[in-house]
Amino acid sequence: MSLTSDEVRRIAHLARLAVDDREAEGFAAALSDIFDFVEALNNADIEGVAPMAHPLDAEQRLRPDRVTESDQRERFQDIAPAVEGGVYLVPRVIE
């Protein structure tokens, strides 16, 4: 698929973007290249290829699930502007 400069200017107008004539020609060529690449991808034979989340068959390295910091809740609540019943109070924003 090939875009013309006029089509790029129309799209830019719809998106409320300022594009001059020189830029429109460059964008038309670049976007046409992208559309050609997508078309080539659409024509690729993917029969029998399973979908995957990552191109490498790698496993996620996981760290042990353990506490690494001390409990500082009382310290933080002592310096908070407003606390009641162990929870932080915040101003109401929805009436």
Within a domain: 90: no
Does 93 reside within a domain? no
Domain range for 14 is 5-42
- The model's pLDDT over 26-66, given as tens digits with 9 standing for 90+, comes to 999 999 999 999 999 999 999 998 888 778 877 778 889 89
> pTM to 2 decimals?
0.50
Predicted confidence band of residue 6 (pLDDT cuts 50, 70, 90): very high
Q: Looking at residue 23, which CATH number applies to its domain? A: 1.10.20
Q: For residue 39, give both structure tokens.
A: 């078309």
Residue 22 lies in a domain: yes
68 or 52, higher pLDDT: 68
| SS3 of residue 47 by DSSP | coil
Average pLDDT taken over every residue of the chain: 91
Please give the tally of structural domains in the chain. 1
Distance between CA atoms of 83 and 73, rounded to whole angstroms? 11
Asked if 83 contacts 89 with a C-beta cutoff of 8 angstroms, the reply is: yes
| Confidence check: pLDDT of 1 > 90 | no
> Band of the pLDDT at 9, cuts 50, 70, 90?
very high
In a domain, 9, yes or no: yes
pLDDT band at 2 (very low <50, low <70, confident <90, very high): confident
Residue 54 belongs to a domain: no
Domain annotation covers residue 23: yes
> Is 64 within the bounds of a domain?
no
Residue 94 lies inside a defined structural domain of this protein: no
